[in-house]
Amino acid sequence: MRYEWKKLGRGILVLLLAAVVANAWLFYRHCTAPVDGARYTLLQVQEKMSWSVQALQEETERLEARISSADPLEILSDKSLLTGDVYDERRLNQAVLARKEFSYREHIKGVLSDAEFRISSGLFGEQTGFAVRSMERTKAIYAPLVNLPVQPVFCAGAETLTDWTLSDIFFLMFGFLPPLVLLTQERRNGLTSLLRPTKKGRGSLYLRKYAVAVSSVLAGFVLIYGGDLLISGMLFGGCDLSQPIQAVYGFDGCPIPLTILGYFLLFSLVKLLWGLTIATIIFSLCAMVSRISTVFLCVLGAGLLAVGMSLSANLWLRAFSLVSLADTPLLLRQCLFVDFFDHPVRQLPVSVCFCGTTTLICFAMGLFAFCRVPAVVSVAERQKLSFSFLHRHTSLFLHEGAKLWLSQGGLLLAAVFLTVQVISYQNYGKPNSAWDHYYQQYAQTLSGQPNSSKDAFLAAERAQFADIHSQIAQIYAAAGDDVGTAQLAAEKLQAKLNPEEAFEAAAAQYEALQAGQSFVYRSGYERLFGVFGRTEALLDTIKLLVFLVLTLSGLFAIEQERGMEIILTTSGARKKVRKRKLLHCGLITLLGFLLAVLPQLLAVIQNYGLPNMDALANSLPVFSAFPKGWAILGALILCGAIRLALSGLSSAVITFLSYRLGNKVLTTLTATVSLVIPHMILLLIQYSYTRI
């Protein structure tokens, strides 16, 4: 096994080390950054947890008194407070009080009585049905926990470490990289045919390689989660591990009577099994497939499938989704059941069994492929009669194109990218709410620069709404206490007020216009550059980067891998070849950019429209930062140009790596780690903000 480790080489070890460092840095930021959606940190929560309930209540009362006596828009900063802000300090105190005053016993009693009510209400079907049985099972599981001695404790390790999903991505790198080098790269270098005929060259060699993959997963687990634990310990200190895990904030729903130490051990086992399952799937894939781009596409496809399964309402699909299983704390925090012929079965054991079975099956499939599938793939002697005329030329540009687009699969990857984009954007959401409908109507009238007729229109509309409001008020006044009659009488008038909210939005937009600015229907622009649009753009960027990595990794590496550098030099055409390669690289980048950007743009234009492109860009809130003189079209072109330049920069990085490393597998891995994974992390962060 020692030799297999050595084969990984320094480059892979550096990549893995970089993953450990990046994870540690991000985890440190996670620990010291404000808690989701709030403006206080966990360190401040820890500090306040040492206060008594009485002290917290007294301070909260003092803070509320200050707030009530101050102007609502006044900023109340106070350096003596932990957060430095009165409002934030009050929120912090309330959060800590909620933690300290939490009664586990009452909570469990509530769960049990709720289950009892649901069973007895008869609303959940027959007594032998899944719903009722699962509630009975819930009762049976939680009933023994009522008497658990739970006193709220602060355990930052459990709160931050086990809930930090980005560590999972870095952890996966330890399962992903070794198989690619030990199987895919070895096959590319033609070493399989050398190694497999040796005495220990089949099953035993596979086992040794697999042992490296397993030990890499173990090492990754220790380095990634151990690093997290170390940082957490250094920042927050330890906690009493003998306390029940239910005493930790957020774990009150844990259905298993575990100590905090027991929780950590169970978490480790489940997480390790999860990592091992994914590593084994990738390992067996690498044993079966020789092309690195095929491995990547299969992994991406499997990843998308797992994401789809995790979003499904079907609990079986969720139980079998490796993306759902990545959220190990969730499996331990809640009591979820899957329907097994009307019998509730706990999701955790189902998922664990699934992981174990998948690992065994994939291991066996990989072993079979490695031992039985011929190392030297018989090459079909394809007579390229139909296309051979394409190669009978002396255009270096076309030859380099053939290498990149045909031999290295650039054209195929572009077709896959196009297909993915078409599927992604074929059912793009239209503006179908009543608000959108009314806003669109007002926008048609108000479109363009302000003028007196539009002012008059707004005044007339406003007066009309005011009139309706006064009529409704009169009806209610006349009805007295008979509210029901008043509602009935005012129903028609109330319906006339439906456009009012959209009108107010349109009027506010119109009235905020400054000299030279125009009213522009903004829904399309907001869809394109708002939170959802930015998330979509980031997702498209990730697709683009994967496309560029898979297409361009071999751009210069192929010559070095095949020794063709020597012939290029002796023919004196090295510079010419380099120029043409870079030209094709530019074309690939441009194509990728168009495939990444156009579908979203076209979908927005088709469903929302992007009108008034000649208007000033700062007429729109999304372009408010643009200086005067910039038209919307100019702003759109600038945004596109920046994205194109960044795509070009990414291509330049991949091309440089391909040139310097001279190895397609290593280039693919390095480029993925340095370009794709940071964007995936950004996407995860953006998703979490969107959720908030």
Partner 1 sequence: MELQIQNLKKEYGTKQALKGVSATLTEGIYGLLGPNGAGKSTMMNILTGNLRQSAGDVLLDGTDIRTLDSAYFARLGYMPQQQTYYPTFTVEQFLYYIGSLRGMKRQKVKKRIDWALELLSLSDVRKKQLRALSGGMRQRILLAQAILADPDILILDEPTAGLDPEQRIAVRNLIAEIALHKIVLISTHVVSDVELIARELLLLSDGRLLCQSAPKELMAQLSNCVWEVCVPEHEIRKLHHLGQISGIAKAEDGAVVRLLAKEKPPYSCTEARPTLEDVYLYHFGRQEGL
Of 74-82, 300-308, 361-369, 388-396: span binding partner 1 (CB under 8 A): 388-396
* Residue 581 beta carbon to partner 1: minimum distance, rounded to whole angstroms: 13
- Name the nearest CA neighbour of 171 among 41, 288, 313, 16: 16
CB nearer to partner 1: pick between 39 and 576: 576
Closest C-alpha to 248, from 431, 416, 99: 99
Alpha-carbon span 272 to 534, nearest angstrom: 34
Closer of 346 and 584 to partner 1 (Cβ): 584
Task: Closer to partner 1 by CB, 165 or 560: give it.
Answer: 560
What track of x and - describes contact with partner 1 for positions 51 through 90 (by CB under 8 A)? ----------------------------------------
Report how many residues bind partner 1 under the rule CB under 8 A: 34
Alpha-carbon distances, residue 551 vs 109, 533, 556, 678 (angstroms): 59, 26, 11, 19
Identify the CA nearest to 638 among candidates 625, 652, 654, 653.
625
Based on the shown chain and the rule CB under 8 A, indicate whether residue 189 belongs to the binding site for partner 1.
no
CB 381 → partner 1: shortest distance, Å? Answer: 5
User: Own/partner pairs for 526-529, CB < 8 Å, 24+ apart?
Assistant: 526/621, 526/622, 527/604, 527/607, 527/608, 528/600, 528/601, 528/604, 528/610, 528/622, 529/622, 529/623, 529/639
Residue 289 makes contact with partner 1 by CB under 8 A: no
- Kindly state the smallest distance separating residue 297's Cβ from partner 1, in Å: 18
117: CB partners within 8 A, 6+ apart = none
673, 678, 679, 685: CA torsion to nearest 10: 140
Contact call for residues 548 and 647 (beta carbons, < 8 A): yes
Classify burial at 544, counting beta carbons within 10 Å of its beta carbon; exposed 0-12, middle 13-18, buried 19 or more: buried
Among 383, 426, 427, 453, binds partner 1 (CB under 8 A): 383
- Distance in Å, CB of 370 to partner 1, minimum: 21
* Residue 607 Cβ vs partner 1, minimum distance, rounded to whole Å: 43
From the list 78-86, 387-395, 517-525, 646-654, the region that binds partner 1 by CB under 8 A is 387-395
Site string for partner 1, 544-573 (x = CB under 8 A): --------------x---xxxxxxxxxxxx
- Judged by DSSP in three states, 447 sits in coil
Site for partner 1 in 574-593 (CB under 8 A): 576-577
Q: Which of residues 251-270 bind partner 1 (CB under 8 A)?
A: none
Of 413 and 636, nearer to partner 1 (C-beta) is 413
Q: Extract the tokens encoding 325.
A: 């299983």
**In the bound complex, what is the minimum distance in angstroms from residue 193's beta carbon to partner 1?**
13
Helices (DSSP H) in 311-388: which residue ranges? 315-319, 322-326, 328-333, 347-372
Q: Which residues 6+ apart lie within 8 Å of 539 measured at CB?
A: 683
385 contacts partner 1 (rule: CB under 8 A): yes
Least separation in angstroms between residue 288's CB and partner 1 is 20
- Candidate segments 236-244, 373-381, 435-443, 448-456, binder of partner 1 by CB under 8 A: 373-381
CB nearer to partner 1: pick between 536 and 559:
559
Cα 411–chain centre separation = 28
Residue of the chain from 105, 200, 343, 393 that contacts partner 1 (CB under 8 A): 393
Q: Which residues share a beta bridge with 244?
A: 259
Taking CB under 8 A as the binding criterion, the range among 103-111, 117-125, 392-400, 682-690 that sits at the site for partner 1 is 392-400
Query: Exactly one of 381, 477, 481, 491 binds partner 1 (CB under 8 A); which one?
Result: 381
- Options 2, 6, 372, 382; binder of partner 1; rule CB under 8 A: 382
208 or 578: whose CB is closer to partner 1?
578
Q: Site residues for partner 1, window 477-496 (CB under 8 A)? A: none
Site string for partner 1, 121-160 (x = CB under 8 A): ----------------------------------------
Give CA–CA dist 206/208, Å, rounded.
5
Which one, 146 or 573, has the nearer CB to partner 1? 573
Amino acid present at 669: L
Task: List, as one string, the DSSP characters of 174-218.
Answer: HHHHHHIIIIIIHHHTT-HHHHTTSTTSSHHHHHHHHHHHHHHHH
The nearest distance, CB 376 to partner 1, in angstroms, is: 10
Measured from the CB atom, the residue of 534 and 562 that comes closer to partner 1 is 562
Which residue bears the tokens 């319906």?
495
Q: Are 205 and 193 in contact (CB under 8 A)?
A: no
Binding track over 30-49 against partner 1, x by CB under 8 A: --------------------
Of the pair 336, 577, the CB lying nearest partner 1 is at 577
Q: Which is nearer to partner 1, 190 or 303 (CB)?
A: 190
Pick one of 105, 200, 343, 391: the residue that binds partner 1 (CB under 8 A). 391
Least distance CB 294 / partner 1 (angstroms): 15
Closest contact distance (angstroms) between CB of 557 and partner 1 is 13
**Closer residue to partner 1, CB minimum distance, 430 or 562:** 562
Q: Which is nearer to partner 1, 185 or 321 (CB)?
A: 185
User: Which residues, 6+ apart, have CB-to-CB distance to 611 below 8 Å?
Assistant: 447, 520, 521, 524
Q: Which is nearer to partner 1, 395 or 451 (CB)?
A: 395
**Could you tell me the smallest distance in angstroms from the CB atom of residue 408 to partner 1?**
9
Rounded CA-CA distance 543/597 in Å is 11
Contact pick of 10, 29, 372, 392 for partner 1 (by CB under 8 A): 392
CB of 628 to partner 1, least distance (A): 53
- Residue 339's DSSP bridge partners are 344
Residue entry with tokens 């005493």: 247
d(CA 513, CA 507): 10
Q: How far is CA 294 from CA 24, 112, 542, in A?
A: 32, 51, 17
By rule CB under 8 A, what string of x and - marks binding of each residue 395-434 to partner 1?
xx--x--xx--xx---------------------------
Angle at 506 between CA 510 and CA 452, to 5 degrees: 40
DSSP H or E run through 339: strand 337-340
Residues that bind partner 1 (CB under 8 A): 379-385, 388, 391-396, 399, 402-403, 406-407, 558, 562-573, 576-577
